[in-house]
Every structure is written in structure tokens, then in C-alpha cells.
Chain A
Amino acid sequence: MRNCFAACLEKYVKEQDEIVLLYADIGNRLFNKLKDLAGPRVINAGIAEANMAGMAAGMAMNGMKPFIYTITPFTTSRNFEQIKVDIAYQNLPVVIAGTGSGLGYANLGPTHHSFEDLALMRVLPNMQVVCPADVLELEALFPQILKSREPVYLRLGKKNEAVVHPEPPNLSIGKAHVLIPGERICLMSCGSMLETAKQVSVELGKQGLKVEVCSFHTVKPLDDAYLDEAYSRFDTWVTLEEHSVIGGFGSAISDWLSERLLNKDVLRFGIPDLFIDQVSGQQDAKKRAGLSVGSIVEGILAYEG
């Protein structure tokens, strides 16, 4: 997905001279073409993420459209206060792009995992939180992200993620997208879990359950219209996220219900409240977190009784 991110920037950088990319000494060769297209506006900010976020705010105050980019924890938690004060409080159109989000860098250990980033970003006023599931979602949402005059947190994967959508979807920030229509149970999938959600729906189909699969590429703002409708259409909601069960997408859905004093059974699948280490890769880490297709299917069937 990071290649797609670079390609999206390449597509617009020439015609929109307010675009500037700041990256924290990461992405070896990833931005070479971008540098050819817009050299001075492609800036290695060094391994100095707090300064990078503050500079992006200054550039946005000066009419630019800055993107800041590095591995997710370093551009969400490390520089959180700059994001809060300089970017979110001043409501500046900076795009905070994190790569390898969730367990994308699983084998690099907890330093490189991000399962607190959704919690950190969604708590900030003015911040939009966008988590594309695959490259097609990123391509569809990118022009809107570019146009936005408010801050956006863009939660990206790493590389070679499955392309889940059969064809380029028509998406809007803040509008959930139904991938597979169904009944009784709605699988609400956040970002990178969409492929898993699809596989879960296939497995449940074998058990006679025709569940809906919906992509929540936007965690903030949530799609009120879809949730209103889903409240009456489904008995059970299932949230899937590569993020802690505390504070992330599932929490946002629970908050949505709570704010409206509504009751609904919500099964939340995410990373449990623990650090994950000593894993060989992303699939291994997801398995440890209980986010494999098997454990999700098992959890839903156990609930169904």
C-alpha cells in the first residue's frame, strides 16, 4: 500500500504545487520518482518526527498541503503533542500518513507495532481518521484527502496486501461501503481486516449464515446513516480491527451506541490488552491476537450457540 501512496502523490504533485511530502528518513527509493517530479517539495525531515509534525503545521499555515510519512507509531504516538496542538487544534490541512499500521511490522516487535494509533487520533477534535482496506480504497479516497481543508490521519498498510475489492469502489470519506450484502449479522471491518472479514463471511456461509461485510474505511466521522440502518437491519454487529480493542474502531462503534442509549450485541475482535512479541510475521501476530479467520469464525459461532 505504501507504493500506492507514493503513486497517488506522483499523480497529483505536478499539477498541485502546494503538495509537500515530509518523511522521517524512511522509504528508501520509495519516493525517487516523486523527487524527480517535485524535488524541493519532497523533503527528508530526518529521524525527528516531532519537528516534522511541527514543520508540517507551519507549512500548512503558509498555504501548503503537507503530508508527513513514516512508520505509524513514529508519526502518531511519538509526535502526538505536535499533532494535537500544532495540527489538530489549529485545524490545519495536514495529512498524517502512517505505514505498516497495526501489526504490519509484526516481526520488528512492539516498538514498530501500532495498536494505539486509532485511539490517539480519533480522540482529537477536527481529526478525520481514514483507514483504507486495500490499494483500490486508497486510490478512491486519495483525491478527497487531498481536497480536505482539515487534518486527516491516513492509516496505511505496508506492501503486497490483498486487493479485496473486485473493482475500483466508489467511496466517500465518512461513508461505509457494503462489500457483501447480508442479513442478521453485520461484519464491520476497519482497514486491513477486510480480507479477513471476507474470508470469515465465506466460512460462516458454509454454516448457513449469510452475513453482511461492510468496509469502514473511515473511523471518524462514523457513517451515522449506515449505522442507523444497520441498527434495525441486524441482530448482531461484529467489529474487526488490527488495533487494540481499547479505544479503536470497536470502541468507536460502542461509543456510537452508548451516545444514543441504544442496545446492540457487539462482538469486538481486535488486539487484546497485551504487547505482542516473539512472532515470525504479520499472520503469526494476528493469530496470536485472535485475529485469524479461524478464531473469528469460532468466536461468532460460539456466540450464535
Chain B
Amino acid sequence: MTITELKSLSRRLREDVLNVSHNNKISHLGSCLSCIEILVVLYWRYLRVDITDPNYPDRDQFLLSKGHAASALYAALANRGFFPREDLFTHGQTGSPFEEHPGLHSPPGVDCVSGSLGHALPISLGLAKSALLKGSKAKFAVLMGDGELNEGSIWEAAMFASTHKLHNLTAIIDVNQWQGTGRSSSVMNILPLRDKWEAFGWHALEVDGHNHNEIEDALNTGSQIKNKPTVVIANTIKGKGISFMEDDNNWHYRIPNDSELRAALDELARDESLIDA
């Protein structure tokens, strides 16, 4: 798959989350838009998944710890072929598998419930540790937000994972520098991130979280590290791809109206890097 194709996919995922947000009144757009490239690389370049048998036992698994970006995950899974894209538009309706945070009755391809922050890293440790106990070759990836790193359970897990050399585990941090109500670094000083994770015994890599190649290289490098877990610190922009949403935390909760949706979709359609795609 070429870089242009990965970029086209990323654009399509952005269109899907924008349309769903507008039509179904789903918030957290900014948080969805910052992790699009990460999801595209995970599902098209990294994870061993089977859309015809989503729960096969030895598969790689992805856990969306920042569960409020569920809409982005659903868009990725739909475009990957786990279920029809039009299903996305049941999001939030009575009886729909698409809930604002991934629930127990999530669509095929969702591996874990989430929504309360700081949960999925410990769960992924349990998956990774038991896979090693069983001799399974499966690998596990978990995506957290930088605001989520406020949670103490993250650091409990960070210590356990390095102590137990969980090399089959990769944590990715979507560092969009915002949390619900403010700049991440001003709410809780989590910096310096790379030094912190290295001090906790992890192999830490820093990438441009909107550059597919950099993300993929980091994930592949992590897979080669055999004595410790890997963390990919992905520097991103909240609201990425839509100029009037970028780095504006109002879009954590705001839902685009008709004209904002049109403007956003127009902007994506004009993306010059994809004109020849």
C-alpha cells in the first residue's frame, strides 16, 4: 500500500468521523482527528487481523484506551472491512453497537470496552503476559491520550510491563497536548515524556503522529525489541486536518453545524497532497 493510499484512507476516515459527528451528534471530534494516521497504520500496516474471523484466538489485538475516540476506531474498522460503512450512521441510536465509548456489544473488530481512562493499558498487560505464558506470538497495541497519563493506573502498569519484559506490547500515546478542559502540560506536568517512559524501563520512540512512515517505522522497530515493551510517543495536533478545528480545544465537545461540516469536507477534498491519488 503506497503512502498516497494511506493518506487517502486517512482522509476518508476523517470524512466519516465528521459526517457521523454532524449527523448523529457525536462529540470528541478533536480527539478522533488527532489519531487517524495512527489507526490507519495500525489496521493497514501493522496488526494481523482477519475481517472474516475477527475473534480468531491468536490474532493481534488493539485496545483503544482513549475510548472517547471510538468514532475514529469505528471508521477505521468499517473501512478495513469489518462491517459496512453505512452502519456507522447508527452511532448513538437505540440498540446500536456503536456507542460513544466502545461497549460490550461493540461491532466486530473491537477488542475491549473502554471509556474510563487508564484502564486499557493494564488490560493489555494481562493480554500480553498471558500470551507469553501460552507461547502465543500475538502482539498487542494500546492507544492512550496524553491527558490520560494523569491516571495512576498507567504508571502502575508501566512498572509491571517493564519488570515482566512484555516485548509483545506497544503503547502509543496520542500527544495532542490537550485534555478535556486545558493544555495537558498545565493541568498535570507530564513532561518530559520520553525520559519518563525510559526511566520506567520502556523502549521509547518519538514520531510525528501524522506521518504514516514514521509511525510504521516506530511500530516495526518496537516489534524487534525483545526485552522490553515499546512506547511510541506520537506528537499530534488535536483536530488535525481541518484548519478551523486544529489545536482548538472547543472541538473536544463541539459538533459541527451544516456550514461547518461543508467547510470541513471541502477542505479535505482540496487536500493538495492527494490531488493525484
Contact = CB atoms under 8 A, between A and B. Distances in A.
Interface residues of B, number: 30
B116 A85 contact: yes
Interface stretch (B32-40, B127-135, B236-244): B127-135
Contact of B125 (A40, A55, A90): A55
B71 interface: no
A58 B130 contact: yes
A61 B157 contact: no
Majority secondary structure of chain B interface residues (helix, strand, loop or mixed): helix
Contact of B153 (A54, A61, A62): A54
A61 B116 contact: no
Interface residues of A, number: 30
A156 interface: no
B107 interface: no
B122 interface: yes
Interface string A86-98: 1001110000000
Contacts of A133: none
Interface string B134-168: 10000000000000000011001101100100000
Nearest to B138: A62
Given A46-B156, A51-B157, A20 B133 contact: yes
A82 B122 CA distance: 9
B152 A61 contact: no
A48 B123 contact: no
B113 A51 contact: no
- Of B118, B123, B131, B156, chain A has the most CB atoms within 10 Å of the CB of B123
B104 A51 contact: no
A54 B129 contact: no
B109 to A, nearest CB: 15
Given A46-B160, A82-B153, A62 B131 contact: yes
B130 A53 contact: no
B130 A64 contact: yes
Given A51-B156, A54-B119, A89 B130 contact: no
Contact of A55 (B57, B129, B159, B163): B129
Q: Which 9 pairs of residues, A with B, have the shortest CB-CB distance?
A: A58-B126, A54-B122, A48-B156, A51-B156, A55-B126, A58-B123, A59-B126, A62-B130, A58-B127
Interface of A: 20, 40-41, 43, 45-46, 48, 50-64, 66, 81-82, 85-86, 89-91
Interface of B: 57, 104, 111-113, 115-116, 118-131, 133-134, 152-153, 156-157, 159-160, 163
21 contacts: A45-B160, A46-B160, A48-B157, A50-B118, A50-B122, A50-B156, A51-B153, A51-B156, A54-B125, A55-B157, A55-B160, A58-B126, A58-B129, A59-B130, A62-B127, A62-B131, A63-B130, A64-B130, A85-B119, A89-B113, A90-B104
